[in-house]
Amino acid sequence: MAKLKTIYICQECGCESQKWLGKCPECSNWNTMVEEIVDKAKEDSLHSSISFSKPLNINEIELTDEERYNTSMEEFDRVLGGGIVKGSLVLVGGDPGIGKSTLLLQVSKSIAESKKIFYISGEESAKQIKIRAQRLNVETSNLFIISETNISVIERMIEEFRPEVVVIDSIQTMYKSELQSAPGSVSQVREATATLMRIAKNLNIAIFIVGHVTKEGSIAGPRVLEHMVDTVLYFEGDRHHTYRILRTVKNRFGSTNEIGIFEMKGNGLREVKNPSEMLLSGRPENVPGSSIVCSIEGTRPVLVEIQALTSNTNFGMPRRMATGIDYNRVVLIMAVLEKRVGLQLQTSDVYVNVAGGLKIDEPACDLGVALAIASSFRNLYIDSKTILIGEVGLTGEIRGVNFIEKRILEAQKIGFNRCIIPKENIKGIEIIPNINVVAVDNIYEALDEVLGG
Ligand code: TYD
Ligand code: MG
């Protein structure tokens, strides 16, 4: 095969150069030169399977549901929007060691009963994978392990043996020999992904690619991969906790922001069907600084505990810290508490933490954060069967939120008996048995109701 010519192109201004440069001579940006193959058409013509379909009139296109494979893991199917779509390219991203390989091996196990699967690893040897598979009780004759990193070889192999599902672990180890840059560089990752996309679409097979997350939190450089694939899933969690959350960031075949929750056990990942119960298990009852909120994750309401701790500042600037929730949001809520309620937080260090390692970003959790801080500051506890729902506005008003009934029903299901909601939301909601719904207009009313003033 003739060697393909590559050049370096600045990603900011398009300036071309024959060799790599740290600084673009045109726009003076640093680190923007990326290696690219010059003649795309030539590369394609080398590939024998080139084909094109005739342009279709929009009226002639028949709509059929995408064909999907169901795994026996409900949580995994849900994040994909109802199962693995044939011919889709799915990226599973996450920190090293979080459990991506484990998850995909388990998924392979659950679909290998009827489908032929290729598990292609550039990170571990076949023996290492076998050891892991033994731990996960994988017993099937349909799962094939391949240790390979050359993407052209992989392409040939897939064309030859036609598996129905392929797992690539990980995209950072794959390379195309035409490119000089090292595996894991932006150009290698992009070319490898483009090849895999073409295979997935041409042969109509589902391909999963594992991607490690860089320190800045994006997968392999400037999010190049996310634009190219059909679905992006992030596997996250605290390595010190056993819980792992699989989150949909992008999905061409379903809704985004869906989550699946798993627990890492000695023999692999176990699905957590009822996340609220899991997140609330072991919470302290009737202690100051703890409140329960309801966050909507995708289509599911999830109850979460917010913890706050205030303590006297010993010297200098008071410290504020937020884990699992936006720091600026916490600072804003504290400002409202200081100004509108007169809570003297200026001389206190304030720490806010979302228990269980979950990250929440819904304004509907504001009221819970505000009351957890007030509860710790005043050293009064919030009744442990009370749940708080509402957005806090800058004038101290409590604003309405969406999905109010869904949230109240979830609280009732878990056994809560009092629910504080915004006044705006009380209209039109049906009476829900066994739960006392209290509507509040502003933050003082909420404090009065929950902490007695
Ligand atoms: P791994 O899937 O290798 O992570 P990644 O592919 O994202 O880098 O999983 C790594 C961790 O999971 C490792 O620290 C061991 C742990 N683990 C278990 O706790 N139980 C198990 O059954 C398996 C297979 C792994
Ligand atoms: Mg791995």
* Same domain for 226 and 329: no
* Same domain for 330 and 312: yes
Average pLDDT over residues 386-403: 95
Which atom of ligand 1 is found nearest the CA of 96? 8
Which atom of ligand 1 is found nearest the CA of 170? 6
- Listed in sequence order, the residues at least 6 apart from 253 whose beta carbon sits closer than 8 Å to its beta carbon are 66, 80, 81, 85, 88, 230, 231
Spell out which residues line ligand 1, taking CB within 6 angstroms: 94, 96-102, 132, 135-136, 264, 266-268
Which atom of ligand 1 is found nearest the CA of 105? 2
Which residues constitute the domain of residue 400? 278-451
**Residue 147 Cα to ligand 2 middle (Å):** 13
pLDDT of amino acid 274: 85
Confidence band for 119, pLDDT divided at 50, 70 and 90:
very high
The C-alpha atoms of residue 145 and residue 156 are separated, in whole angstroms, by 16
For 222-289, give the DSSP string: TTHHHHHSSEEEEEE--TTSSEEEEEEEEETTS-SS-EEEEEEETTEEEE-S-HHHHHHTT--SS-BT
* Same domain for 283 and 264: no
* Same domain for 224 and 77: yes
* Domain end call among 229, 253, 273: 273
The C-alpha atoms of residue 205 and residue 128 are separated, in whole angstroms, by 26
* Same domain for 164 and 138: yes
What is the share, in percent, of the chain residues with pLDDT greater than 90? Answer: 55
- Listed in sequence order, the residues at least 6 apart from 28 whose beta carbon sits closer than 8 Å to its beta carbon are none
Residue 51 in any domain: the answer is no
Asked if residues 130 and 261 have their Cβ atoms less than 8 Å apart, the reply is no
* Same domain for 141 and 19: no
Beta strands 268-271 and 418-422: pairing type? unpaired
pLDDT of amino acid 44: 55
Confidence band for 49, pLDDT divided at 50, 70 and 90:
low
pLDDT of amino acid 292: 96
pLDDT of amino acid 217: 56
Protein residue with its CA nearest to atom 13 in ligand 1: 97
| pLDDT single digits (tens) 315-371 | 889 999 999 999 999 999 999 999 999 999 999 999 999 987 788 889 999 999 999
**Residue 104 Cα to ligand 1 middle (Å):** 11
What is the share, in percent, of the chain residues with pLDDT greater than 70? Answer: 93
Could you tell me how many residues make up the chain?
Answer: 453
Residue 48 in any domain: the answer is no
Q: What is the CATH number of the domain that holds 151?
A: 3.40.50.300
List residues, by chain if needed, whose CB lies under 5 Å from ion ligand 2. 101
Average pLDDT over residues 106-114: 89
The C-alpha atoms of residue 446 and residue 398 are separated, in whole angstroms, by 9
Confidence band for 154, pLDDT divided at 50, 70 and 90:
very high
* Same domain for 19 and 88: no
Residue 58 in any domain: the answer is no
Q: Is the pLDDT of residue 386 over 80?
A: yes
Residue 53 in any domain: the answer is no
**Residue 265 Cα to ligand 1 middle (Å):** 9
Asked if residues 370 and 443 have their Cβ atoms less than 8 Å apart, the reply is yes
> How many structural domains is the chain composed of?
3
* Same domain for 117 and 26: no
The C-alpha atoms of residue 245 and residue 61 are separated, in whole angstroms, by 38
Tell me the ligand closest to 104's alpha carbon.
Answer: 1
Protein residue with its CA nearest to atom 16 in ligand 1: 99
Average pLDDT over residues 98-121: 92
Which atom of ligand 1 is found nearest the CA of 268? 22
* Same domain for 250 and 292: no
Which atom of ligand 1 is found nearest the CA of 267? 22
Q: How many CB atoms lie within 10 A of CB 120?
A: 25
Average pLDDT over residues 60-69: 79
Average pLDDT over residues 385-406: 95
pLDDT of amino acid 230: 93
Q: What is the CATH number of the domain that holds 423?
A: 3.30.230.10
* Same domain for 383 and 399: yes
* Same domain for 282 and 269: no
Q: Is 301 helix (H, G, I), strand (E, B) or coil?
A: strand
Q: What's the gap between Cα 196 and its chain centre?
A: 22
| pLDDT single digits (tens) 196-248 | 999 999 999 999 999 987 666 555 544 678 888 999 999 988 777 788 889 89
Q: Is the pLDDT of residue 27 over 90?
A: no
Protein residue with its CA nearest to atom 8 in ligand 1: 97
Protein residue with its CA nearest to atom 21 in ligand 1: 268
Tell me the ligand closest to 136's alpha carbon.
Answer: 1
Per the DSSP assignment, residues forming a β-bridge with 218 are none
**Residue 133 Cα to ligand 2 middle (Å):** 13
| pLDDT single digits (tens) 406-451 | 999 999 988 999 999 999 999 878 888 889 999 999 999 999 999 9
From residue 56, alpha-carbon distances to 53, 59, 67 in Å are 8, 8, 21
pLDDT of amino acid 80: 92
Residue 56 in any domain: the answer is no
* Same domain for 200 and 75: yes
* Domain end call among 246, 273, 300: 273
Residue 376 in any domain: the answer is yes
Residue 57 in any domain: the answer is no
Asked if residues 134 and 128 have their Cβ atoms less than 8 Å apart, the reply is no
pLDDT of amino acid 222: 45
* Domain end call among 273, 302, 337: 273
pLDDT of amino acid 182: 81
Per the DSSP assignment, residues forming a β-bridge with 243 are 263
Residue 52 in any domain: the answer is no
**What is the DSSP secondary structure assignment for residue 150, as one 8-state letter?**
B
Most trustworthy range by pLDDT among 33-37, 109-113, 206-210: 206-210
- Listed in sequence order, the residues at least 6 apart from 169 whose beta carbon sits closer than 8 Å to its beta carbon are 100, 101, 104, 119, 120, 121, 122, 123, 124, 210
Q: Is the pLDDT of residue 38 over 80?
A: no
Confidence band for 39, pLDDT divided at 50, 70 and 90:
low
Q: Is the pLDDT of residue 307 over 90?
A: yes
| pLDDT single digits (tens) 179-191 | 888 887 778 888 8
